[in-house]
Chain A
Amino acid sequence: MRGTIGTNGYLVVARDIRKSYAEVQALAPMSLTVARGERVALAGPSGSGKTTLLYLLAGIVQPDEGQVAIDGRSLSGLTPGEELARLVSVMHQQFDLVPNLPVVHNVLAGRLGRWSLMRSVLSLVWPQERRLAEDTLAQLGIGDKLGERTSRLSGGEQQRVALARLLVQSSLIVLADEPVSSLDPARADDVLKLLKELTESSGKTLVASLHSPDLIRRYFSRVIGLREGLVQFDLPVDEMSDGVLQRLYQLNNGKGQVASVEVV
């Protein structure tokens, strides 16, 4: 079948992918496989290629070389839209909700890839699959907010709405780009706990970028360290030592010299 490739049972197979922006290498050639149900943390300093890798896995950007397949489907053959939406969903640093819409429509936006245009527009007047939205919000502890305008919700509640949208999209793999970087420690813990529980209970796969060793240990099963576009290590979480993470974030330019910090 066109667009399908052998995956040896892995959910995500990235083969020899490489990405540069202009002259800058964002990601050196690398290969990566992720099994169904894994929770992978991507760690590394800013500019290390975490976001590039996530975007390549999400099909948001295309690799210069190599290819990414999810569930045996090559992403290069898929146009953004329905098919891609079933394979991958992405959670960004901001919640990216539409503040003027009631919560229910922001949640059901996750279904737009599966609905016809008629149904999508009709839903704005007469919410479709309302029960799904209700149940998902209830699961996240904000079942009473269904009809509320999204802009009236607190930051934590909006984060849950964004999570609910991700869940109703019901893709095979959830990618999260620094999902907790703008949150206080308690809320960061809460969001990752929810992400873990929800992906675990539905057999979904999670790949997220984050920095905190504690949170990585608590909520992920595997950690990949990136630096300057190169994979430094790829370990099960229980084999990750503090030293290995510390070295990853050390301020030097990779040649043993401490990078000079310019005072502006």
Chain B
Amino acid sequence: MWRLFDNRRLLSLFLGVALVWSLASVDWGSAGVHSGGGGTLREFVLAAFPPELSPDFLRVGLAAAWQTATFAVAAITIAVVVGLPLGALATGQVVSSSSRGRALAVGARLFLAVIRSVHELVWAVLFVAAFGFSSLAAILAIAIPYAGILGRIYGERLADVPDEPLRALRASGASPVAVLAYGRIPIALPDLLSYTFYRFECTIRAAAIMSFVGIRGLGFEIQLSLQELLFSQVWTLMLFLVGLVVLVDLWSSKVRRSLAA
């Protein structure tokens, strides 16, 4: 029977009202360009032709890019090492007892939710307070929420593999962890890899903004140049950042191609 207000229509209506309401409650007046902003914007755009390319500054940029890249690599590595076992636990399929499996799954999912619900910058503030402006603070601050994000997605991908090959493994006497190693992980591997590479790109961006809490790297140099209104230097540094992301993307597509072939 057709009804005017079934659950789906009610939900759509609710979301529509929420959208209109939120648009209406934004104070658009303060979001405009402030006086002199247009000039600054023009100056900034013109500074890109050309960016600062002196060997001395390129060295500064390279060192900063290197530092940012090391943070990102270390953080994503830790995130994978922590996230994979937690994601596997979250499937509830790594122990033979199904009641214990469910309990472990609930625990793992809760833990993953807790660590990823805190943003990396908040972790960074915490760790800077604990360890000072050190690399360790930056790496841990990124690795912890990313372990939570990766673990959640890994858990879903590992749970979603077709059952037939797993059944065959179980029939040949494989334990649940062996089924994980010989079935779930290899079957889900292309998905896991592509998502991990995407998250690797995100750790580069995250590493760059660690400057907000005073940790060095590309973001830190961008901040310094901005403060001195040296826009052509800012462009150079941003190009380094783009370069890093493009490198990761190239690596990612190379790995995925070799898997697909």
Contacts and interface: CB of A to CB of B under 8 A. Distances in A.
Say whether A and B bind each other. Answer: yes
Interface of A: 58, 60, 79-82, 84-86, 88-90, 92, 94, 96-101, 105, 109-115, 117, 120-121, 124, 165, 169
Contacts of B7: none
B165 A98 contact: yes
Q: Residue among A94, A100, A115 with the most chain B CB within 10 A?
A: A100
A169 B169 CA distance: 11
Nearest to A96: B168
Helix, strand, loop or mixed for chain B's interface? helix
Contacts of B178: 112, 115, 117, 120-121
B164 A101 contact: no
Contacts of A90: 168, 171
Nearest to B183: A98
B186 interface: yes
7 contacts: A81-B175, A98-B182, A112-B169, A121-B177, A124-B182, A165-B172, A169-B173
Q: Residue among A92, A98, A165 with the most chain B CB within 10 A?
A: A98
Contacts of A120: 174-175, 178, 181-182
B174 A112 contact: yes
Per CB-CB distance, the 8 closest pairs between chain A and chain B, nearest first, are A113-B173, A85-B173, A96-B168, A112-B174, A100-B186, A120-B178, A96-B164, A96-B165
Contacts of A111: 172
Contact of B182 (A60, A81, A105, A169): A105
A117 B175 CA distance: 8
B82 interface: no
B106 interface: no
A117 B177 contact: yes
A121 B181 contact: yes
B136 interface: no
A94 B162 CA distance: 12
Contacts of A86: 173
Contacts of A79: 96
Contacts of A89: 171-172
Given A81-B175, A109-B168, 6 more contacts: A82-B173, A84-B173, A96-B165, A98-B182, A121-B178, A169-B172
B217 to A, nearest CB: 35
Interface string B151-177: 000000000000011011111111101
B189 interface: yes
Given A98-B187, A124-B182, A112 B175 contact: yes
Contacts of B187: 98-100
Contacts of B169: 98, 109, 112
A120 to B, nearest CB: 5
Nearest to A120: B178
B96 to A, nearest CB: 8
A105 B170 CA distance: 15
B3 to A, nearest CB: 32
B259 interface: yes
B167 A85 contact: no
A81 B167 contact: no
Contacts of B51: none
B101 interface: no
Contacts of A165: 168, 172
Contacts of B168: 90, 92, 96-97, 109, 165
A156 to B, nearest CB: 18
A109 B181 contact: no
B255 to A, nearest CB: 13
A84 B170 CA distance: 10
B71 to A, nearest CB: 29
Interface in B126-142: none
A90 B172 CA distance: 8
A37 to B, nearest CB: 22
Interface string B174-201: 1101100111001101100000000000
Q: Residue among B168, B172, B174, B190 with the most chain A CB within 10 A?
A: B172
